[in-house]
């Protein structure tokens, strides 16, 4: 019988109440590695109460002292980098080095949160009227929640809770039930860093737990990252229950390769961006738009041998370029897309469907795939596959390529590879996409900028972390004050103006 995990509530490990549970599998072997309790609505409500009880005390801690907790948390993540990356890799399947990179990117948000006293500084205006001063300050919302996807077990939770907590909120994290261990460990480390018990609670669960967060009146704001249908549902349900919601959804990121691009660089960029983490990244490039047949033919010729010789292995194989897909169900979904691409007439230049890794025959390993001659009416173009599958679309001109980017329902990331400054500038101006790269295939903003897409890749108004994170997790108060010596006698019935 696999070990049963727990929740982390009020600074303690809390066993599930004995209701439903889910399987956490080892993607390399297909075995059930551990089990995770799936919280009932009552269990979630108890955690929310705990977070509500902790919130006033936490908000009363000065920003400087909240920052000191973040400094200690940063040091603890660094000390436990290997452990956290291993927990992420073991359950997700990505290579250990890739997981370390993602923990590091998450850590950088903790570093930004270490400066919270500086970023929370308000605005002050003296003498807005004679003897009248005005100042604006940002205040925590209360109890806020985060719901995260399977593909970044450390980084995506780190996009959320350090900023929320540094701003003075308490937090309920509902991690993906496929990869719960990393979040549980980070909650222990934050407590060790000096956060009060109840400041970060990790409640494992599925739809029942999420629905409780979306409807409970104590929860003031929800940060969500996951697939578009669930993001839309979370946004609609959360906002109709009076909450502030930022819900980041799926993606179909195009990389335009112009005729003047350095094709060696573009090929290397596509290899990493399409097949790193087995394509299970919301910023993965899943569509290469070649401008002109010459570029398309050259890309196919350069990419094919590289994709055929990708090194695929379990997370702890130091030579592996990529690991298995997260679950058997996800493997079947990805394979279904490849089958449909073949049926719809795209040319499957490299077929990874039959890939088997010796000794890991029950693992969810899939070889890299390349489709050529993909067109915009095909399912493999329209929908997010989230696997090691690159679609090549042949565009006649730059304008046609840009139209593809702008007409797609998703708008997370995109990139252009070119040496032409005019083309690059036009692209950065006209692309209807949240994150744009010029000769940078995965333009993920650093921690002190903000991350988010456009169109159906983001529901809500705020991007995540950086300055937008501070705005999302706080509300503004503006005080106008004067003192008795500045008050004139007599009632004023007209709108006060400066003469």
Nearer to ligand NAD among residue 250 and residue 363 (C-beta): 250
Residue 386 engages ligand NAD in binding (rule: CB under 6 A): yes
Alpha-carbon span 422 to 376, nearest angstrom: 26
CB of 499 to ligand NAD, least distance (A): 52
Structure tokens at 267: 């090929």
Which residues fall within 8 angstroms of residue 347, CB to CB, at 6 or more apart? Answer: 371, 372, 373
Cα–Cα nearest to 326, from 16, 19, 28: 28
- Smallest distance from ligand NAD to CB 416, Å: 20
Among 103, 113, 230, 247, binds ligand NAD (CB under 6 A): 230
Interface of this chain with ligand NAD, residues 400 to 419, rule: CB under 6 A: 412
Number of residues that bind ligand NAD (CB under 6 A): 27
Site for ligand NAD in 258-317 (CB under 6 A): 282
State which of residues 203, 225, 289, 325 lies at the interface with ligand NAD (CB under 6 A): 225
| Separation of alpha carbons 248 and 459, rounded Å | 6
Q: Closer CB to ligand NAD, residue 66 or residue 330?
A: 330
| C-alpha closest to that of 452 among 142, 77, 15, 160 | 160
Binding status of residue 150 toward ligand NAD by CB under 6 A: yes
Q: Which region among 12-20, 125-133, 145-153, 316-324 touches ligand NAD (by CB under 6 A)?
A: 145-153
Closest contact distance (angstroms) between CB of 38 and ligand NAD is 9
The DSSP secondary-structure symbol of 485 reads G
Burial 27-54 (b: 16+ CB within 10 A, else e): bbbbeeebbbbbbbeebbebbbbbbbeb
Cα 101 to the chain's mean position, in Å?
A: 14
Burial of 239 (0-12, 13-18, 19+ CB in 10 A): middle
148 binds ligand NAD per the rule CB under 6 A: yes
Give the residue at shortest CB distance from ligand NAD: 226
Q: Which is nearer to ligand NAD, 138 or 174 (CB)?
A: 174
Binding-site member from 453, 460, 466, 469 for ligand NAD (CB under 6 A): 453
Is the CB of 47 or the CB of 210 nearer to ligand NAD?
Answer: 210
Separation CA 386–CA 383 (nearest Å): 9
Strands, sheet with 347-350, edge to edge from the N-terminal-most edge strand: 347-350, 369-372, 389-395, 285-291, 253-257, 413-417, 435-438
Q: Quick check: 226 binds ligand NAD (CB under 6 A)?
A: yes
List the interface residues with ligand NAD, window 166-205 (CB under 6 A): 174, 176-177
Among the listed residues 55, 89, 181, 457, the single contact to ligand NAD using CB under 6 A: 457
How far apart (Å, rounded) are the C-alpha atoms in residues 219 and 216?
Answer: 6
Residue 334 to residue 340: CA distance in whole angstroms: 10
To ligand NAD, the closest distance from the beta carbon of 227 in angstroms equals 3
Are 120 and 473 contacting, i.e. CB atoms less than 8 angstroms apart? no
> Which residues in 234-263 contact ligand NAD (CB under 6 A)?
248-251
**Which residues participate in catalysis according to the annotation?**
282
Q: Applying CB under 6 A, does 39 fall inside the site for ligand NAD?
A: no
DSSP letter at 144?
Answer: E
- What is the dihedral sign for C-alpha 174, 175, 178, 181? negative
Q: Which of 279, 384, 393, 431 binds ligand NAD (CB under 6 A)?
A: 384
Residue placing its CB nearer to ligand NAD in the complex, 223 or 267: 223
Q: Is 383 in the site for ligand NAD (CB under 6 A)?
A: no
Of the residues 44, 141, 210, 322, which one makes contact with ligand NAD according to CB under 6 A: 210
227 makes contact with ligand NAD (CB under 6 A): yes
**Minimal distance in Å, beta carbon 451 to ligand NAD?**
6
Give 147 or 312: the residue with its C-beta nearer to ligand NAD: 147
Contacts of 8 (CB under 8 A, 6+ apart): 14, 184, 187, 188, 200, 201, 202
Q: CB neighbours of 106 closer than 8 A, spacing ≥ 6?
A: 77, 152, 154, 155, 156, 157, 158, 159
Closer CB to ligand NAD, 329 or 479, in the complex: 329
Question: Applying CB under 6 A, which residues contact ligand NAD?
Answer: 147-152, 156, 174, 176-177, 206-207, 210, 225-227, 230, 248-251, 282, 384, 386, 412, 453, 457
């Amino acid at each position: 019988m696999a070990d049963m995990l727990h929740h982390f509530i009020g600074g303690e490990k809390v066993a599930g109440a004995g209701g439903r549970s889910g399987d956490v599998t080892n993607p390399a072997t297909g075995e059930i590695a551990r089990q995770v309790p799936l919280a009932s609505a009552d269990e979630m409500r108890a955690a929310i109460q705990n977070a509500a009880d902790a919130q006033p005390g936490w908000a009363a801690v000065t920003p400087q002292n909240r920052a000191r907790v973040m400094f200690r948390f940063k040091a603890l993540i660094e000390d436990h980098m290997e452990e956290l990356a291993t927990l992420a890799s073991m359950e997700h399947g990505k290579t250990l080095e890739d997981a370390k990179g993602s923990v590091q990117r998450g850590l950088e948000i903790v570093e930004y949160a270490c400066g919270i006293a500086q970023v929370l500084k308000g605005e002050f205006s003296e003498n807005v009227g004679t003897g009248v001063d005005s100042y604006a300050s940002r205040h925590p919302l209360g109890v806020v929640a985060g719901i995260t996807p399977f593909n970044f077990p450390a980084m995506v939770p780190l996009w959320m809770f350090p900023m929320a907590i540094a701003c003075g909120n308490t937090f309920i994290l509902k991690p993906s039930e496929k990869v719960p261990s990393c979040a549980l460990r980070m909650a222990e480390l934050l407590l060790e860093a000096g956060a009060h018990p109840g400041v970060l609670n990790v409640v494992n669960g599925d739809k029942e737990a999420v629905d409780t967060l979306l409807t409970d009146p104590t929860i003031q704001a929800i940060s969500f990252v996951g697939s578009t249908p669930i993001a839309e549902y979370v946004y609609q349900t959360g906002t109709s229950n009076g909450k502030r919601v930022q819900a980041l959804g799926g993606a179909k990121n195009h990389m335009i390769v112009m005729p003047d691009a350095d094709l060696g660089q573009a090929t290397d960029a596509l290899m990493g961006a399409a097949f790193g983490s087995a394509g299970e990244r919301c910023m993965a490039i899943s569509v290469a738009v070649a401008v002109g047949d010459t570029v398309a033919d050259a890309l196919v010729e350069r990419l094919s041998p590289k994709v055929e010789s990708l090194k695929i292995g379990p997370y702890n194989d130091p030579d592996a370029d990529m690991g298995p897909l997260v679950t058997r169900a996800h493997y079947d979904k990805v394979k279904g897309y490849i089958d449909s691409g073949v049926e719809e007439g795209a040319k499957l230049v490299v077929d990874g469907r039959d890939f088997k890794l010796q000794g890991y025959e029950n693992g969810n390993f899939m070889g890299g795939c390349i489709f050529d001659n993909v067109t915009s009416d095909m399912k493999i173009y329209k929908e997010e596959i989230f696997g090691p599958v690159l679609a090549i679309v042949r565009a006649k001109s730059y304008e046609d390529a840009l139209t593809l980017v702008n007409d797609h329902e998703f708008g997370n990331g995109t990139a252009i590879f070119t040496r032409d400054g005019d083309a690059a500038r036009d692209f950065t101006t006209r692309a209807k996409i949240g994150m744009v790269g010029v000769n940078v295939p995965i333009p993920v903003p650093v921690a002190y900028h903000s991350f988010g897409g456009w169109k159906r890749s983001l529901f809500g108004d705020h991007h995540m972390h950086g300055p937008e994170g501070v705005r999302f997790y706080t509300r503004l108060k503006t005080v106008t004050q004067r003192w008795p010596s500045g008050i004139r006698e007599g009632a004023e019935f007209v709108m006060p103006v400066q003469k």
